[in-house]
Amino acid sequence: MKHILQQPIWRYYDQSISVKQRSPLESFATDDTLCQLVGQSMSPPTIRTWVHEASVVLGIQDHRLPYVQQGMELLESRGYHPIVRNSGGLAVVLDEGILNISIVLSEQKESLSINDGYDVMVELVKGLFPEVAEKIEAYEIVGSYCPGSYDLSIEGKKFAGISQRRLRQGVAVQIYLCIEGSGSQRAALIRDFYEHSLQQEETKFTYPQIMPEVMASLSELVDPNLTVEAVVIRLQQLLNYWAEEVRPQSFYDEELALYGFYLQRVFERNTKMLERK
């Protein structure tokens, strides 16, 4: 998968500071925009970094919880803003100690399987943390929040989860990296959310039984001095090593119109989801 990361040109869009106080919904719209731009060869392959203040992103299944309103009220009482994404997956935590990275690639010339997309991100993460690359494993961590077959862990402790978005021949592979703070405290928050939202009622869908002790941050697992800012610098250095040219670019004026379209669509979908309860 390293050959996919060794692109002649990488566009690099750093939003690790600029969107902190904005809604994560804006990041979903940004990745949708990049999917179309990259997928339709209107932009080079792109890597984007993004960080948001305390939020919990719920999936469609989470929104179907019998007492989800009480669960969302709990999150708000703990200082986390709940939003609903109109896609699969389950609840994940975003805050200033979590770095999100999106790799956006085109399928116009060559298709990229689901597993290939995941493998590209695993390769990137191992490149970011060479000191523990051999210890990083990809398999489902039972008891974590938003469990999946490509959970990333070190010695059984999950520190990252990967998802994908496919649109207009573009593929956005997204990861959240728990870098600073306590992974188990974030997991305990999601455990409490499910307890308040289920209230022991039986449901057709099986929600995860969260065990906070199976989750940790990279500052807990690798280096206590590790920060989001330091990992962003590592990523920039890695891109300069892999690519012939790195273009730090936000959206151009003509791209902003497309972004506005996707932004409106994302917010409208979120509003509709919240109105259904």
Task: Specify the residue for token string 């792109």.
Answer: 46
145: closest CA among 92, 99, 198? Answer: 92
DSSP 198: H
Contacts 24+ apart (CB under 8 A), 246-250: 246/9, 246/10, 246/12, 247/9, 247/10, 247/11, 247/12, 247/44, 248/12, 248/13, 248/14, 249/11, 249/12, 249/13, 250/13
Cα→Cα distances 254→13, 104, 106, 259, Å: 16, 19, 20, 9
- Report yes or no: 219 and 182 within 8 Å, Cβ to Cβ: no
- Report yes or no: 251 and 33 within 8 Å, Cβ to Cβ: yes
Helices then strands (H, E): number in the chain? 9, 11
Given the residues 146, 177, 215, 239, select the one marked as catalytic.
Answer: 146
**Six-digit token string for 248:** 């730090």
Mark whether 146 is an active-site residue: yes
Catalytic residue set: 146
